[in-house]
Amino acid sequence: MAQVAAGKVDVSGVLVMDKPAGLTSHDVVARVRKILGVRQVGHFGTLDPFATGVLPVSAGKATRFAQFYLKSRKAYEGAVRFGFSTDTYDATGNPASDALPVTLEASCLEKHFHALTGRLLQAPPPYSAKRVAGVRAYKLARQHKPVKLEPVEVEIYALELLGIEGSEARFAVECSGGTYVRSLAHDLGQRLGCGAHLARLRRTAVAEFTLAQAVTLEELAGARQEGKLKEHLTPLEALLPDCPELLVRGREETSIRHGRTFELPQALRPGRGGLRRARFAASETSARAALDAGLEDHAPPATLLKILGADRRLIAVARHVSGAVYHPYLVLA
Protein backbone atom coordinates (compact mmCIF):
# COMPACT_ATOMS: atom_id res chain seq x y z
CA MET A 1 0.00 0.00 0.00
CA ALA A 2 1.79 3.14 -1.21
CA GLN A 3 0.99 6.85 -0.99
CA VAL A 4 0.41 8.15 -4.52
CA ALA A 5 -1.11 11.57 -4.00
CA ALA A 6 -2.40 13.83 -1.26
CA GLY A 7 -5.44 12.16 0.31
CA LYS A 8 -5.25 9.13 -1.95
CA VAL A 9 -3.85 5.69 -1.24
CA ASP A 10 -2.94 2.99 -3.75
CA VAL A 11 -4.50 -0.12 -2.21
CA SER A 12 -3.44 -3.49 -3.62
CA GLY A 13 -3.90 -6.66 -1.63
CA VAL A 14 -6.51 -8.95 -0.09
CA LEU A 15 -8.83 -8.25 2.82
CA VAL A 16 -10.27 -11.31 4.58
CA MET A 17 -13.82 -10.24 5.29
CA ASP A 18 -16.14 -11.91 7.78
CA LYS A 19 -19.30 -11.83 5.68
CA PRO A 20 -22.50 -11.37 7.68
CA ALA A 21 -25.71 -13.27 6.94
CA GLY A 22 -28.15 -11.51 4.64
CA LEU A 23 -25.60 -9.89 2.34
CA THR A 24 -24.51 -11.26 -1.03
CA SER A 25 -20.83 -11.42 -1.89
CA HIS A 26 -21.51 -8.59 -4.35
CA ASP A 27 -23.00 -6.50 -1.51
CA VAL A 28 -19.83 -6.96 0.54
CA VAL A 29 -17.64 -5.98 -2.42
CA ALA A 30 -19.73 -2.84 -2.94
CA ARG A 31 -19.38 -1.83 0.72
CA VAL A 32 -15.64 -2.49 0.76
CA ARG A 33 -15.31 -0.41 -2.42
CA LYS A 34 -17.04 2.48 -0.65
CA ILE A 35 -14.91 2.12 2.51
CA LEU A 36 -11.64 2.02 0.57
CA GLY A 37 -12.65 4.67 -1.93
CA VAL A 38 -11.34 2.61 -4.85
CA ARG A 39 -13.22 1.07 -7.78
CA GLN A 40 -11.08 -1.99 -8.46
CA VAL A 41 -12.47 -4.45 -5.90
CA GLY A 42 -13.51 -8.09 -6.33
CA HIS A 43 -13.70 -11.37 -4.40
CA PHE A 44 -12.21 -14.87 -4.49
CA GLY A 45 -15.31 -17.08 -4.56
CA THR A 46 -19.00 -16.47 -3.89
CA LEU A 47 -20.56 -17.20 -0.51
CA ASP A 48 -24.35 -17.69 -0.32
CA PRO A 49 -26.30 -14.79 1.24
CA PHE A 50 -27.47 -16.81 4.26
CA ALA A 51 -23.93 -18.07 4.97
CA THR A 52 -21.30 -16.22 7.00
CA GLY A 53 -17.53 -16.26 7.30
CA VAL A 54 -14.44 -15.98 5.17
CA LEU A 55 -14.80 -13.97 1.98
CA PRO A 56 -11.41 -12.89 0.56
CA VAL A 57 -11.94 -9.48 -1.06
CA SER A 58 -9.28 -8.28 -3.47
CA ALA A 59 -8.37 -4.67 -4.17
CA GLY A 60 -6.24 -3.02 -6.83
CA LYS A 61 -3.78 -5.32 -8.58
CA ALA A 62 -4.84 -8.24 -6.36
CA THR A 63 -8.10 -8.53 -8.32
CA ARG A 64 -6.05 -10.16 -11.09
CA PHE A 65 -5.28 -13.09 -8.76
CA ALA A 66 -8.88 -14.35 -8.63
CA GLN A 67 -8.07 -16.87 -11.38
CA PHE A 68 -5.66 -18.66 -9.00
CA TYR A 69 -8.14 -18.92 -6.11
CA LEU A 70 -11.60 -19.70 -7.48
CA LYS A 71 -10.97 -23.47 -7.33
CA SER A 72 -9.09 -23.37 -4.04
CA ARG A 73 -9.67 -25.73 -1.13
CA LYS A 74 -12.34 -24.43 1.26
CA ALA A 75 -13.43 -25.27 4.82
CA TYR A 76 -16.81 -24.82 6.51
CA GLU A 77 -18.68 -25.52 9.72
CA GLY A 78 -22.44 -25.79 9.77
CA ALA A 79 -25.54 -27.73 10.67
CA VAL A 80 -27.87 -30.02 8.70
CA ARG A 81 -31.53 -30.13 9.68
CA PHE A 82 -33.07 -33.56 9.06
CA GLY A 83 -36.78 -34.27 8.63
CA PHE A 84 -37.65 -32.39 5.45
CA SER A 85 -35.93 -31.00 2.35
CA THR A 86 -36.34 -27.53 0.81
CA ASP A 87 -36.37 -26.30 -2.77
CA THR A 88 -33.16 -24.29 -2.22
CA TYR A 89 -31.49 -27.07 -0.20
CA ASP A 90 -31.08 -24.61 2.71
CA ALA A 91 -33.12 -22.89 5.42
CA THR A 92 -34.12 -19.98 3.17
CA GLY A 93 -36.25 -22.16 0.90
CA ASN A 94 -39.75 -23.60 1.01
CA PRO A 95 -40.36 -27.16 2.26
CA ALA A 96 -40.13 -29.63 -0.62
CA SER A 97 -41.15 -32.74 1.32
CA ASP A 98 -43.43 -33.68 4.19
CA ALA A 99 -41.93 -33.29 7.64
CA LEU A 100 -40.92 -36.57 9.27
CA PRO A 101 -39.92 -37.29 12.85
CA VAL A 102 -36.24 -38.26 13.09
CA THR A 103 -33.93 -39.76 15.66
CA LEU A 104 -30.30 -39.22 14.72
CA GLU A 105 -27.59 -41.67 15.67
CA ALA A 106 -23.92 -40.73 15.49
CA SER A 107 -22.80 -44.12 14.15
CA CYS A 108 -25.32 -43.98 11.29
CA LEU A 109 -24.42 -40.40 10.35
CA GLU A 110 -20.69 -41.12 10.46
CA LYS A 111 -21.20 -44.04 8.08
CA HIS A 112 -22.91 -41.77 5.56
CA PHE A 113 -20.34 -39.01 6.13
CA HIS A 114 -17.62 -41.52 5.25
CA ALA A 115 -19.51 -42.58 2.09
CA LEU A 116 -19.60 -38.95 0.95
CA THR A 117 -15.86 -38.43 1.43
CA GLY A 118 -13.47 -38.49 -1.53
CA ARG A 119 -14.10 -37.74 -5.18
CA LEU A 120 -17.75 -37.86 -6.19
CA LEU A 121 -20.22 -36.55 -8.72
CA GLN A 122 -22.43 -33.86 -7.23
CA ALA A 123 -25.54 -32.28 -8.76
CA PRO A 124 -25.67 -28.51 -8.09
CA PRO A 125 -28.85 -27.15 -6.44
CA PRO A 126 -31.60 -25.84 -8.76
CA TYR A 127 -31.22 -22.48 -7.01
CA SER A 128 -27.62 -21.83 -8.03
CA ALA A 129 -25.64 -19.55 -10.32
CA LYS A 130 -25.00 -22.37 -12.80
CA ARG A 131 -26.20 -21.58 -16.33
CA VAL A 132 -28.81 -23.55 -18.27
CA ALA A 133 -28.85 -22.56 -21.95
CA GLY A 134 -27.27 -19.25 -20.96
CA VAL A 135 -29.73 -18.50 -18.14
CA ARG A 136 -28.87 -18.65 -14.44
CA ALA A 137 -30.47 -21.72 -12.87
CA TYR A 138 -31.94 -19.74 -9.96
CA LYS A 139 -33.85 -17.51 -12.39
CA LEU A 140 -35.50 -20.55 -13.98
CA ALA A 141 -36.22 -22.06 -10.57
CA ARG A 142 -37.93 -18.86 -9.39
CA GLN A 143 -40.16 -19.05 -12.47
CA HIS A 144 -41.00 -22.65 -11.54
CA LYS A 145 -39.43 -23.89 -14.75
CA PRO A 146 -37.68 -27.28 -14.80
CA VAL A 147 -33.98 -27.09 -13.99
CA LYS A 148 -31.70 -29.98 -14.85
CA LEU A 149 -28.04 -29.51 -13.98
CA GLU A 150 -25.42 -32.08 -14.89
CA PRO A 151 -23.41 -33.51 -11.98
CA VAL A 152 -19.83 -32.27 -11.67
CA GLU A 153 -16.86 -33.93 -10.01
CA VAL A 154 -15.93 -32.48 -6.64
CA GLU A 155 -13.75 -33.73 -3.80
CA ILE A 156 -14.62 -33.92 -0.13
CA TYR A 157 -11.29 -34.10 1.70
CA ALA A 158 -12.80 -34.45 5.17
CA LEU A 159 -16.34 -34.54 6.60
CA GLU A 160 -16.58 -34.71 10.38
CA LEU A 161 -19.57 -34.98 12.69
CA LEU A 162 -19.23 -32.41 15.51
CA GLY A 163 -22.40 -33.11 17.43
CA ILE A 164 -26.13 -33.86 17.37
CA GLU A 165 -28.84 -31.60 18.78
CA GLY A 166 -32.34 -32.95 18.21
CA SER A 167 -32.95 -33.08 14.44
CA GLU A 168 -29.75 -31.18 13.64
CA ALA A 169 -26.26 -32.50 13.09
CA ARG A 170 -23.32 -30.13 13.35
CA PHE A 171 -20.42 -30.81 10.99
CA ALA A 172 -17.09 -29.58 9.65
CA VAL A 173 -16.08 -30.12 6.03
CA GLU A 174 -13.05 -29.45 3.83
CA CYS A 175 -13.75 -29.61 0.11
CA SER A 176 -12.60 -28.59 -3.33
CA GLY A 177 -13.71 -25.40 -5.01
CA GLY A 178 -17.03 -25.80 -6.80
CA THR A 179 -18.53 -27.98 -4.05
CA TYR A 180 -22.04 -27.06 -2.93
CA VAL A 181 -22.42 -27.78 0.79
CA ARG A 182 -26.17 -27.33 0.30
CA SER A 183 -26.14 -30.31 -2.07
CA LEU A 184 -24.14 -32.28 0.48
CA ALA A 185 -26.88 -31.66 3.07
CA HIS A 186 -29.61 -32.57 0.58
CA ASP A 187 -27.80 -35.79 -0.39
CA LEU A 188 -27.53 -36.80 3.28
CA GLY A 189 -31.30 -36.44 3.61
CA GLN A 190 -31.80 -38.58 0.53
CA ARG A 191 -29.53 -41.27 1.95
CA LEU A 192 -31.35 -41.35 5.27
CA GLY A 193 -34.75 -41.27 3.56
CA CYS A 194 -36.10 -38.43 5.67
CA GLY A 195 -35.10 -35.33 3.73
CA ALA A 196 -32.65 -32.69 4.96
CA HIS A 197 -31.43 -29.18 4.29
CA LEU A 198 -28.59 -26.92 5.32
CA ALA A 199 -29.63 -25.02 8.44
CA ARG A 200 -26.49 -22.95 9.01
CA LEU A 201 -23.15 -22.46 7.28
CA ARG A 202 -19.98 -20.58 8.20
CA ARG A 203 -16.92 -20.64 5.98
CA THR A 204 -13.76 -20.93 8.03
CA ALA A 205 -11.08 -20.90 5.30
CA VAL A 206 -10.40 -20.31 1.62
CA ALA A 207 -6.93 -21.46 0.59
CA GLU A 208 -4.53 -19.68 3.01
CA PHE A 209 -7.15 -17.18 4.22
CA THR A 210 -8.77 -18.04 7.58
CA LEU A 211 -11.20 -16.65 10.15
CA ALA A 212 -8.26 -15.67 12.35
CA GLN A 213 -7.49 -12.93 9.79
CA ALA A 214 -11.09 -11.90 9.15
CA VAL A 215 -12.55 -8.47 9.88
CA THR A 216 -16.12 -7.23 9.81
CA LEU A 217 -17.26 -4.38 7.61
CA GLU A 218 -17.55 -2.20 10.71
CA GLU A 219 -14.00 -3.05 11.82
CA LEU A 220 -12.67 -2.31 8.33
CA ALA A 221 -14.39 1.07 8.27
CA GLY A 222 -12.86 1.91 11.65
CA ALA A 223 -9.39 0.83 10.53
CA ARG A 224 -9.70 3.01 7.41
CA GLN A 225 -10.60 6.07 9.50
CA GLU A 226 -7.73 5.42 11.92
CA GLY A 227 -5.19 4.92 9.13
CA LYS A 228 -4.65 1.26 10.13
CA LEU A 229 -5.89 -0.36 6.93
CA LYS A 230 -2.48 -1.92 6.25
CA GLU A 231 -2.87 -4.10 9.36
CA HIS A 232 -5.68 -6.01 7.64
CA LEU A 233 -4.32 -6.05 4.08
CA THR A 234 -2.49 -9.12 2.78
CA PRO A 235 0.10 -7.70 0.32
CA LEU A 236 0.64 -9.05 -3.18
CA GLU A 237 3.96 -10.61 -2.18
CA ALA A 238 2.19 -12.82 0.41
CA LEU A 239 -0.35 -14.25 -2.05
CA LEU A 240 0.13 -17.80 -3.37
CA PRO A 241 2.39 -18.67 -0.40
CA ASP A 242 3.21 -22.16 -1.72
CA CYS A 243 4.43 -20.76 -5.02
CA PRO A 244 8.26 -20.60 -5.48
CA GLU A 245 9.80 -17.13 -5.77
CA LEU A 246 12.33 -15.91 -8.31
CA LEU A 247 14.25 -12.70 -7.56
CA VAL A 248 15.52 -10.90 -10.68
CA ARG A 249 17.55 -7.76 -11.34
CA GLY A 250 18.78 -5.57 -14.15
CA ARG A 251 18.07 -6.66 -17.71
CA GLU A 252 16.27 -9.81 -16.57
CA GLU A 253 13.85 -7.71 -14.55
CA THR A 254 13.25 -5.36 -17.47
CA SER A 255 12.71 -8.29 -19.82
CA ILE A 256 10.12 -9.91 -17.55
CA ARG A 257 8.34 -6.60 -17.06
CA HIS A 258 7.95 -6.58 -20.85
CA GLY A 259 6.42 -10.05 -20.76
CA ARG A 260 9.29 -11.91 -22.39
CA THR A 261 9.71 -15.67 -21.93
CA PHE A 262 12.79 -16.74 -19.94
CA GLU A 263 14.71 -19.88 -19.02
CA LEU A 264 15.99 -20.92 -15.58
CA PRO A 265 19.79 -21.23 -15.32
CA GLN A 266 21.07 -24.80 -15.59
CA ALA A 267 22.11 -25.00 -11.93
CA LEU A 268 18.60 -24.16 -10.72
CA ARG A 269 16.64 -26.76 -12.66
CA PRO A 270 15.00 -29.71 -10.88
CA GLY A 271 17.51 -32.46 -10.11
CA ARG A 272 20.48 -30.08 -10.08
CA GLY A 273 22.02 -29.74 -6.65
CA GLY A 274 19.03 -30.88 -4.57
CA LEU A 275 18.12 -27.35 -3.48
CA ARG A 276 14.92 -27.19 -1.49
CA ARG A 277 14.76 -23.45 -0.84
CA ALA A 278 17.36 -21.52 -2.75
CA ARG A 279 17.12 -17.97 -3.97
CA PHE A 280 17.97 -16.78 -7.47
CA ALA A 281 18.81 -13.14 -7.97
CA ALA A 282 19.78 -12.57 -11.56
CA SER A 283 22.34 -9.80 -11.98
CA GLU A 284 22.81 -7.98 -15.25
CA THR A 285 25.38 -10.60 -16.22
CA SER A 286 23.25 -13.50 -14.87
CA ALA A 287 26.30 -14.57 -12.90
CA ARG A 288 25.01 -14.27 -9.35
CA ALA A 289 21.96 -15.49 -8.05
CA ALA A 290 19.23 -16.54 -5.99
CA LEU A 291 16.05 -18.66 -6.10
CA ASP A 292 13.34 -19.26 -3.58
CA ALA A 293 11.91 -21.97 -5.76
CA GLY A 294 11.35 -24.99 -3.60
CA LEU A 295 13.29 -27.24 -5.98
CA GLU A 296 14.20 -30.80 -5.06
CA ASP A 297 16.16 -33.53 -6.79
CA HIS A 298 14.04 -35.17 -9.47
CA ALA A 299 11.08 -32.92 -8.61
CA PRO A 300 8.87 -31.74 -11.47
CA PRO A 301 9.20 -28.06 -12.38
CA ALA A 302 6.93 -25.66 -10.51
CA THR A 303 3.79 -24.78 -12.47
CA LEU A 304 3.96 -21.15 -11.33
CA LEU A 305 6.77 -18.86 -10.19
CA LYS A 306 6.33 -15.56 -8.36
CA ILE A 307 8.76 -13.04 -9.83
CA LEU A 308 10.16 -10.38 -7.48
CA GLY A 309 12.07 -7.33 -8.63
CA ALA A 310 15.26 -5.94 -7.10
CA ASP A 311 13.18 -4.13 -4.44
CA ARG A 312 11.51 -7.47 -3.55
CA ARG A 313 8.13 -6.28 -4.80
CA LEU A 314 6.07 -8.71 -6.86
CA ILE A 315 6.26 -7.83 -10.55
CA ALA A 316 4.83 -10.93 -12.24
CA VAL A 317 3.59 -14.51 -11.98
CA ALA A 318 5.19 -16.82 -14.54
CA ARG A 319 3.71 -20.06 -15.83
CA HIS A 320 5.77 -23.10 -16.79
CA VAL A 321 5.92 -23.65 -20.56
CA SER A 322 8.25 -26.63 -21.00
CA GLY A 323 11.58 -27.82 -19.68
CA ALA A 324 13.13 -24.89 -17.82
CA VAL A 325 11.17 -22.29 -19.82
CA TYR A 326 8.65 -19.95 -18.16
CA HIS A 327 6.43 -17.20 -19.50
CA PRO A 328 5.31 -14.12 -17.49
CA TYR A 329 1.62 -15.02 -17.48
CA LEU A 330 0.54 -12.10 -15.27
CA VAL A 331 2.64 -8.93 -15.32
CA LEU A 332 1.83 -6.41 -12.60
CA ALA A 333 4.20 -3.58 -13.44
Catalytic residues: 48
Question: What is the four-CA torsion angle of 257, 259, 263, 269, rounded to 10 degrees?
Answer: 70
Strand-pairing partners, residue 317, are 306, 330
Query: What is each CA distance from 21 to 53, 203, 245, 248, in whole angstroms?
Result: 9, 12, 38, 45
Question: Could you tell me which residues come within 8 angstroms of residue 75 by beta carbon, excluding any fewer than 6 positions away?
Answer: 172, 173, 174, 175, 203, 204, 205
